[in-house]
Amino acid sequence: MKVIKLAIRSILSFRMYSGVNLLGLALSLACVITIFRYVYGEFTVDHFNKKLDRVYVTTVDRGDNPGNSAFSGVTKRYGVDLTEHPGV
């Protein structure tokens, strides 16, 4: 119990230093969680599909709202071979 009181007393006496440390800890933890979620999403997309090597994802940048992209999945089954297009 004495250790907890001592820790709380030191935190309260050095408020600015403790606040900067807590803010840095919270910010770094948020960045790590965001990066892990992004990497997990990239590695697990479309892995349920048995013919994963035949699935392509195309993106279209819309002119009315720059920065937003429309995604669509296209397979060779529908007669579209994206390797024939020079932009792919």
Give the whole-angstrom CA distance, residue 39 versus residue 15: 36
Joined together, the tokens standing for residue 75 give 């397979």
Query: For all residues of the chain together, what is the average pLDDT?
Result: 77
The model's confidence at residue 49, banded by pLDDT at 50, 70 and 90, is confident
Give the whole-angstrom CA distance, residue 21 versus residue 23: 5
Tell me whether residue 58 is exposed, middle or buried, using C-beta atoms within 10 angstroms of its C-beta: 0 to 12, 13 to 18, 19 or more. Answer: middle
Q: Does the predicted TM-score (pTM) go above 0.75?
A: no
Give tens-digit pLDDT for 4-39. 999 899 889 999 999 999 999 999 999 999 999 999
